[in-house]
């Protein structure tokens, strides 16, 4: 399977302009021209999926404690906007279900990053797939599922093989190809500091897409695109407009 990606994927919405991983951030990214948005998905103690990044609630909400120990009622009651600015007071932590509906409604492309908590990979992954099955409308662009967790990706490829999968790595690894093949991935997602022209060529010559995260400078975005990267993942959906 090959994949065509939007050249810019907005990281967690539009994180510098609105609280990350909220509808305010997704709306802002869309307003700034994004056609594709990356967001993170985690599971609450009682099995509900939410769009959230950190293992702890403290940084991006008024909650306290570990996300994975918290109930869905508690998570749903939190304010995920005031930490960013009073203008966003009352912003909620979105559920995956309502998020997928928003993406389908706006025909936006989603890069769903699955972040299973330790020991909960299979539960989280099967729940994400079942939510996609329930909420995705057939005319919306297929989401790209990505993860650092290779067990999660492998399970996705077995349960829903038509979905494109991206392998996230923290570093360039000499065994990247076998790892990507093992999970039936279509794209390799690498941090910007380990990406160069030669590595992009290597990945592209093997027939895979290359995504570079998190690129916030115009100069580097241009350079990665010139070198052949399929997409950059950026906090700034308007990176090239300014
Ligand atoms: O998908 C790219 C990037 O989001 C991966 O790292 O920690 O920002 O989710 P993180
Ligand atoms: Mg992410």
Which of left, alpha, beta for 200 (phi over 0: left; psi -120 to 50: alpha)?
Answer: alpha
CA of 188 to the centre of ligand 1 (A): 13
Question: Can you list the alpha helix ranges (DSSP code H) found in the chain?
Answer: 23-31, 72-77, 96-105, 121-135, 150-159, 176-182, 197-205, 218-226
The response to whether residue 168 sits with its C-beta less than 6 Å from ligand 1 reads: yes
Q: Pocket of ligand 1, candidates 51, 110, 168: which has the most ligand atoms within 8 Å of its Cβ, to mutate? A: 168
Tokens encoding 136: 């995705």
The pLDDT, as a whole number, for residue 2 is 75
CA of 213 to the centre of ligand 1 (A): 7
The pLDDT, as a whole number, for residue 169 is 98
- The sign of the CA dihedral 72, 96, 164, 237 is negative
By annotation, the residues acting in catalysis are 11, 53
Tokens encoding 133: 């099955």
Q: What percent of the chain has pLDDT over 90?
A: 94
Q: At what angle do helices 150-159 and 121-135 cross, to 10 degrees?
A: 40
Q: At what angle do helices 121-135 and 96-105 cross, to 10 degrees?
A: 40
The pLDDT, as a whole number, for residue 198 is 98
Task: Please give the C-alpha separations between residue 51 and each of 20, 107, 151, 241, in angstroms, as whole numbers.
Answer: 9, 19, 20, 27
CA of 144 to the centre of ligand 1 (A): 14
Q: Using the structure block, give the residue that is written with the tokens 């895979």.
A: 208
The response to whether residue 28 sits with its C-beta less than 6 Å from ligand 1 reads: no
What is the tens place of the pLDDT at every residue in 195-209? 999 999 999 999 999
Nearest atom, ligand 1, residue 115 CA: 9
Mean per-residue pLDDT, 229-237: 98
- Side-chain half-sphere exposure of 13, counting CA atoms within 13 A: 23
pTM, full prediction:
0.97
Name the band, by pLDDT with cuts 50, 70 and 90, for residue 19. Answer: very high
Alpha-carbon distance 184 to 126, whole Å? 17
Alpha-carbon distance 113 to 119, whole Å? 17
Q: Concatenated DSSP letters for 66-124?
A: BGGGS-HHHHHHS-SSTTT-GGGTT----BHHHHHHHHHHTT-EEEEEE-PPTT-HHHH
- The sign of the CA dihedral 221, 222, 226, 231 is positive
Cβ atoms of residues 64 and 70 within 8 Å: no
CA of 104 to the centre of ligand 1 (A): 22
Question: What does the mean pLDDT of the chain come to?
Answer: 96
CA of 190 to the centre of ligand 1 (A): 10
Mean per-residue pLDDT, 154-182: 97
The pLDDT, as a whole number, for residue 138 is 75
The pLDDT, as a whole number, for residue 8 is 98
The response to whether residue 20 sits with its C-beta less than 6 Å from ligand 1 reads: no
Name the band, by pLDDT with cuts 50, 70 and 90, for residue 242. Answer: low
Question: Omega before 140 cis (within 30°)?
Answer: no
Q: Pocket of ligand 1, candidates 189, 214, 216, 230: which has the most ligand atoms within 8 Å of its Cβ, to mutate? A: 214
The response to whether residue 30 sits with its C-beta less than 6 Å from ligand 1 reads: no
Contacts of residue 183, Cβ cutoff 8 Å, sequence gap at least 6: 150, 153, 154, 156, 157, 165, 167
What is the tens place of the pLDDT at every residue in 81-133? 999 999 999 999 999 999 999 999 999 999 999 999 999 999 999 999 999 99
The response to whether residue 199 sits with its C-beta less than 6 Å from ligand 1 reads: no
The response to whether residue 146 sits with its C-beta less than 6 Å from ligand 1 reads: yes
The pLDDT, as a whole number, for residue 203 is 98
What is the tens place of the pLDDT at every residue in 2-16? 788 999 999 999 999
Alpha-carbon distance 5 to 143, whole Å? 10
The pLDDT, as a whole number, for residue 140 is 78
């Amino acid at each position: 399977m090959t994949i065509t990606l939007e050249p810019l994927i907005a990281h967690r919405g539009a994180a510098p302009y609105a609280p990350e991983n909220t509808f305010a951030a997704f709306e802002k990214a869309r307003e700034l021209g994004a056609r594709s948005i990356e967001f993170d998905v985690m599971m609450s103690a009682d099995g509900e999926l939410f769009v959230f990044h950190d293992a702890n609630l403290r940084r991006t909400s008024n909650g306290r404690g570990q996300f994975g120990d918290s109930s869905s009622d508690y998570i749903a009651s939190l304010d995920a906007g005031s930490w960013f600015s009073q203008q966003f007071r009352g912003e909620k932590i979105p559920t995956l279900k309502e998020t997928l509906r928003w993406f389908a409604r706006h025909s936006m492309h989603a890069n769903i990053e699955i972040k299973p908590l330790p020991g909960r990979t299979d539960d989280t992954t099967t729940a994400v797939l079942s939510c996609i099955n329930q909420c995705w409308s057939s005319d919306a662009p297929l989401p790209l599922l990505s993860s650092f967790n290779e067990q999660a990706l492998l399970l996705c490829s077995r349960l829903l093989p038509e979905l494109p999968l991206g392998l996230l790595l923290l570093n360039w690894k000499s065994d990247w190809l076998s790892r990507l093949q093992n999970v039936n991935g279509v794209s390799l997602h690498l941090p910007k500091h380990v990406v160069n022209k030669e590595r992009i060529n290597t990945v592209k010559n093997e027939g895979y897409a290359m995504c570079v995260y998190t690129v916030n400078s115009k100069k580097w975005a241009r350079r990665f695109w010139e070198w052949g990267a399929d997409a950059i993942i950026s906090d700034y959906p308007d990176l090239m407009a300014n």
